[in-house]
Structure 1
Amino acid sequence: MDTTIKQVSSVEYELEISATADELAPDLNSALKTQRARTKMKGFRTGKVPLSIVKKMYGEALAYGIAEKSIQEKFETEVVEAETHDVVGKPKLTRFEYKLDGDLSATIRFGVKPTFELEDISTLTVNKMVHGTNEEDVDAEIERLQKAEADLTPFDAPAGDNDYVVMSMQALDDESGTPIIGEKQDDMTVHIGDDRLKSELRTALIGMSAGETRRVDIAHDEPHDHGDEHHGDSHTHSYEIEVKEVKKQELPDLDDEFVKSVSKGEVETVDAFKEEIRKQLASGWEQRSRELLESSLMLKILDLHDIEIPDSIIDIYLDSFVEDVIRRNQGKAPEGFNEDAFRFANRDEAEQQAKWMLIRERLVETENLDVTDDEMAEFFKQSSEGGGFSPEDMEAYYRSMPALMDGLKQRQMSKKVFDFIESKVTIVELDKDAYEEAEKEETNQED
């Protein structure tokens, strides 16, 4: 059996395999004899069926199995065991030419780990959003919580721009103005102040009272079906709307009883509640700032490195994307799920993640980054505070599930990697408005 390894690109190779029928014959004959020993056929004792008949019945399937096994064994000996190539991912059989009693010719393509040098990241400048929490933020969050607990009370007056209405909405034929059967939405509760509400509908609802009807024309920017017709990109439809009730939102008083209710008894006074809200908002903004910073750092470092990624690594990430879709859909693919289209649409994202994994791995190796036992112990100590269990109990819980422990170590390592990167690049701290404007300008420049 002859083999040749050819380089296709800097990160992909092909193993070409060829074998004559005579070279494959011993294994085929052995497989036929094994099959003959367990073949049962009327008129023959078990194991006594003529070999020619066994070959006619099972020869092709056995031959293909032997050919595939020979190819796999050659890949193992010539590539994997030889350790001449740093193989990553699964090899792919790209060519297979073989028929029973014929010669074999096949090609296996495999990817190798890219070799590259880390670029100088100290040249990078990255914006960081810094947002402090003020009293307006606290008041706005408390009002949001009050609205979530508020009652909607009917009242006999025209609807205002921040009221709620219970309404019906009947689609009308564009030409005749008659109602379209089956195109009516009934008993909808609508907040007139909702930014997502169509402006034409909002304008029509303001000032309407219970029992009143109006006709309203609403513009549509996207194609859709309306009645028995399909409409193009930009068009207008008519509707008859009827207000059945007008309701006002009555916020609960901000008092100790409200605080105890929404905090489930964890906070008892308004002052303590405000302080807790302030801490939560500060923590939330800090987390968001960190996530935005890490995303910016990652994108800039990715842009700095030109690394060719083999398909075999990209396929690993695409496989994980598909598995995630299936897992989130209770273990089966969603109805109508087109895996090929999904993989094509997500290929760029998979390539970026693969590229970042390689850069991150090289940073860890080059800078000798490591998560120490002391750092893990500190994590368990901080995480167990106020939880009703000891650091030792938490550590034992993580260690009882290796996958969970590995995930924790990976997150701790990621934090170390980003801390190192942050120490090397130039960080420009900006308030929220300035940060958003700077990011917008940078996006426009890239476009």
Structure 2
Amino acid sequence: MKTVETLNEGLKREYSLTITAAEIEARVDDEVKAVAPQVRMPGFRPGKVPANLIRKMHGEAMSADALNKAIDQGVRDVVAEYKLRPAVQPGVTLADGYERGKDAVITVALEVLPQIETPSIEGLKLERLTIATDDAAVMAKIEEFASQMKRFEDAPKTKKAAAGDQVIIDFAGSVGGVAFDGGTGEDMAVEIGSGQLIPGFEDQLVGVKLGDEKVLNVTFPDDYPVEDLKGQAAEFAITVKAIKVAAETVIDDEFAKSLGLDSLDKLKEIMKDQIEQEHNGLTRTFMKRKLLDQLADAHDFDVPPSMVEAEFNQIWAQLQQEAAREADVEAAQADLEKDREEYRSIAVRRVRLGLLLSEIGQANDVQVNQQEMQRLVMQAAQQYRPEDRQRFVEYIQQDALAAAQLRAPLYEDKVVDFLFEKADITDREVTRDVLEAAIEDEDGHVHGPGCGHDHSHDEKPAKKAAAKKPAAKKEAKADDAAEEAPAKKPAAKKAAAKKDEAEGDVAEKKPAKKSAAKKAAPKE
């Protein structure tokens, strides 16, 4: 096999491989010898079929298989000979005009990982912002939880419904006098003022009494999820079955026992642990962002365009899904298009930081052990139906790229933790509001009382920029807040607003080590 390097430009490489007809035929001969003992043909004893007949029957398939195996071996040889580190799986092209029995000319094109100088991890300085968890915060959390478990009890029969009350109704909806699917239901509980139903529905229940019959006139929103009902005027004939008022919730030992706990103190202990976990997560998010900012500022190197393109496509697809859920899809997509290059810059940053963290991890022997990997696989498998979980496990075991992608987030976290241990860290206590504001701040500054900054010269912006700085924020993630629809009464529900969040910073990307070429079957 003859190999010639035809392109060496930046991170791009191309090679021309010539696989001689003799090499291919030699592989076919080896295959014929290997399968001959198992070939069965009328008129011949088992294992005694002549080689020329085997070639006549299976020659085309054997030649194609031999060529593909030669290509695979050729790619591996190129990677080894030139000491390449492929960023993605090499592309393989068989020259036009190839015919069986002739030499095959193959072009192997790939991008390689950049040579990164061993990153220095000395001199990292980080501030750890912590939040004290006091009794007031714990009680506030318990009160919030209790409000979500609101109980209602029957009101006096003469009670007129008011905001905060619960009204139990039967209803029948119609548009233009014609009933529509999902517009009829019984015993629906409506909390007045909750905002769960379409605009105007709950307001018209104020003042109703037990046994009242009433017609409510409403208009479905323009962004209502049912196409035929968008913007339509509708009537709902209702019958009031019951009026209920919110029961007072006393936060005491009995309340805790209603939750299956021994006492209020036990509930406080659980809530305190939960709050501290939330605070620790915020602290880590801020520290990780500042760490990655330092690494990004200190390292600048070319990254493989194919990895950037894959990262960008992932970001862009996610953002387009978000835009498609907006009321004005065209406007949302137009706004998104304005920021295309900024999101491409985010993709470049994410790929660069992913490679950098991988390099730091390898240089310092950071590893994901087998037990941790098994736990990751089993956790991921739970997302599938029981009958499909074993197939998923086998897929991860057989596909190195899929396994690397599954392992990557944990690997990054372990590298980040390693860097935290090496960094010079100072602690400062702040409020939760200050820490959350620091995480959201475009420049990463810690603002607020006790933040240590002089704000006398700060200009207050008229409006916070919508775009995310490539060096400061990860791409916006879709929250996948599905539009709510009740199980029995979809027609009366309003479309839930989509919630957007910006969080994190760098994608956990690790280059695939798999370098096998795509099969290039010869033309017949």
Same fold (TM over 0.5): yes
Q: Which residue of 1 aligns with 2:174?
A: 172
Distance 2:44 2:293 in 1: 71
Q: Which residue of 2 aligns with 1:254?
A: 251
Distance 1:196 1:292 in 2: 35
Q: Which residue of 2 aligns with 1:391?
A: none
**SS of residue paired to 2:102:** coil
TM-score of the two chains, using structure 2 as the length reference: 0.58
Distance 1:112 1:200 in 2: 61
Q: Unpaired runs of 5+ in structure 1? A: 320-345, 372-397
Distance 1:148 1:355 in 2: 44
Q: Deviations over 1:100-138 (max 9, x none)?
A: 323312233344222246999999999987655566543
Q: Which residue of 2 aligns with 1:403?
A: 373
Residue from 270, 273, 288 that aligns with 2:282: 288
Q: 1:193 to 1:290 in 2, by over 3 A?
A: farther
Q: 1:434 to 1:76 in 2, by over 3 A?
A: closer
Q: Deviations over 1:379-417 (max 9, x none)?
A: xxxxxxxxxxxxxxxxxxx98936369988874542232
1:355-374 alignment, distance < 5 Å = 355-363=352-360
The answer to which structure has the higher helix fraction is: 1
Q: Deviations over 1:304-330 (max 9, x none)?
A: 7464136479879999xxxxxxxxxxx
Q: 1:108 to 1:290 in 2, by over 3 A?
A: same
Offset at residue 206 of structure 1 (A): 3.0
Distance 1:357 1:129 in 2: 25
Q: Which residue of 1 aligns with 2:465?
A: 444
Distance 2:369 2:32 in 1: 50
Structure 2 letter corresponding to 1:93 = V
Contact 1:127 1:429 in 2 (8 A): no
**SS of residue paired to 2:160:** coil
Q: Unpaired runs of 5+ in structure 2? A: 315-342, 377-406, 444-463, 469-524
Distance 1:239 1:289 in 2: 51
Offset at residue 46 of structure 1 (A): 3.9
Alignment: residue pair count:
382
Q: Which residue of 1 aligns with 2:522?
A: none
Q: Which residue of 2 aligns with 1:160?
A: 162
Structure 2 letter corresponding to 1:104 = A
Q: Which residue of 1 aligns with 2:216?
A: 215
Q: Which residue of 1 aligns with 2:63?
A: 63
Matched, 1:309 2:330: no
The answer to which structure has the higher strand fraction is: 1
**SS of residue paired to 2:140:** helix
Q: Which shifted more, 300-309 or 85-94?
A: 300-309
Q: Which residue of 2 aligns with 1:240?
A: 236
Offset at residue 59 of structure 1 (A): 0.9
Matched, 1:184 2:184: yes
Offset at residue 69 of structure 1 (A): 1.2
Offset at residue 301 of structure 1 (A): 5.0
Q: 1:402 to 1:291 in 2, by over 3 A?
A: closer
Structure of greater relative contact order (alpha carbons < 8 Å, 6+ residues apart): 2
Matched, 1:77 2:65: no
Contact 2:127 2:425 in 1 (8 A): no
Q: Deviations over 1:129-165 (max 9, x none)?
A: 7655566543332223334555321223233222223
Contact 2:32 2:54 in 1 (8 A): yes
Q: Which residue of 2 aligns with 1:378?
A: none
Contact 1:90 1:312 in 2 (8 A): no
Structure 2 letter corresponding to 1:436 = A
Q: 1:125 to 1:428 in 2, by over 3 A?
A: farther
**SS of residue paired to 2:202:** helix
Offset at residue 292 of structure 1 (A): 4.3
Q: 1:150 to 1:318 in 2, by over 3 A?
A: same
**SS of residue paired to 2:31:** helix
Contact 1:146 1:251 in 2 (8 A): no
Offset at residue 181 of structure 1 (A): 5.0
Structure 1 letter corresponding to 2:416 = S
1:111-122 alignment, distance < 5 Å = 111-116=111-116
TM-score of the two chains, using structure 1 as the length reference: 0.66
**SS of residue paired to 1:444:** coil
Contact 2:138 2:268 in 1 (8 A): yes
Q: Which residue of 2 aligns with 1:327?
A: none
Alpha-carbon RMSD: 4.8
Offset at residue 440 of structure 1 (A): 6.1
Q: Which residue of 1 aligns with 2:512?
A: none
**SS of residue paired to 2:256:** helix
Offset at residue 238 of structure 1 (A): 1.7
Distance 2:42 2:270 in 1: 84
Q: 1:401 to 1:297 in 2, by over 3 A?
A: closer
